[in-house]
């Protein structure tokens, strides 16, 4: 969205979409910063999100770039603000992007040649590593403990 805005900053339709979306996100992120990812606190933004989506999806934009965003908002409407309805669901997809990058690196290193069993083992290893990282646990110490359950390992500390 940022790149499109900078390329089309004189497009009033796109400018309005970007401005309103940024305002909405700023409000949501402010709530997350103050109270964490708690549904109880975030539910107040559900109505704001619906109002934003209703306006954008029904405003009759004519510019190509604005229409592209309308299509994307319509396509993703049901899942775009899903994090507002659940506890501890991140508002961004950084964790998913990070995992995809890690797998892409693995694929590059193996030159695209790997077995189903090898992928399964790597994904278990990667998942364990990422979980340790998210919980601020020393990955090597966890592996050396020979425990299979991260929470049990934390309880034993």
Please report, for the chain, the start and end positions of each structural domain, with discontinuous segments joined by +.
Answer: 2-85, 94-156
pLDDT at 113: 67
pLDDT at 99: 67
Contact 79, 99 (CB under 8 A): no
Q: Is the pLDDT of residue 46 over 90?
A: yes
- Quick one: tokens of 3? 């790149």
Cα–Cα dist 91/89, whole Å: 6
Cα–Cα dist 44/110, whole Å: 47
**Looking at residues 103-117, what average pLDDT do you find?**
73
Cα–Cα dist 157/144, whole Å: 13
pTM of the entire predicted model: 0.61
pLDDT at 157: 84
Phi and psi of 9, rounded to 5°? -70, -10
């Amino acid at each position: 969205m940022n790149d499109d805005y900078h390329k089309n900053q004189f497009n009033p339709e796109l400018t309005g979409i970007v401005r309103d979306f940024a305002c909405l996100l700023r409000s949501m992120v402010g709530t997350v910063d103050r109270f964490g990812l708690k549904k109880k606190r975030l539910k107040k933004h559900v109505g704001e999100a619906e109002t934003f989506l209703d306006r954008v999806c029904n405003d009759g934009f004519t510019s190509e770039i604005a229409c592209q965003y309308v299509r994307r908002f319509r396509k993703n409407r049901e899942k775009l603000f899903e994090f507002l309805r659940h506890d501890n669901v991140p508002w961004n997809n950084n964790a998913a992007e990070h995992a995809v990058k890690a797998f892409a690196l693995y694929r590059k290193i193996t030159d695209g040649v790997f077995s189903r069993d090898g992928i399964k083992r790597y994904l278990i290893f990667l998942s364990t590593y990422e979980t340790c990282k998210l919980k601020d646990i020393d990955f090597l110490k966890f592996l050396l403990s020979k425990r299979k359950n991260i929470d049990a390992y934390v309880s034993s500390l």
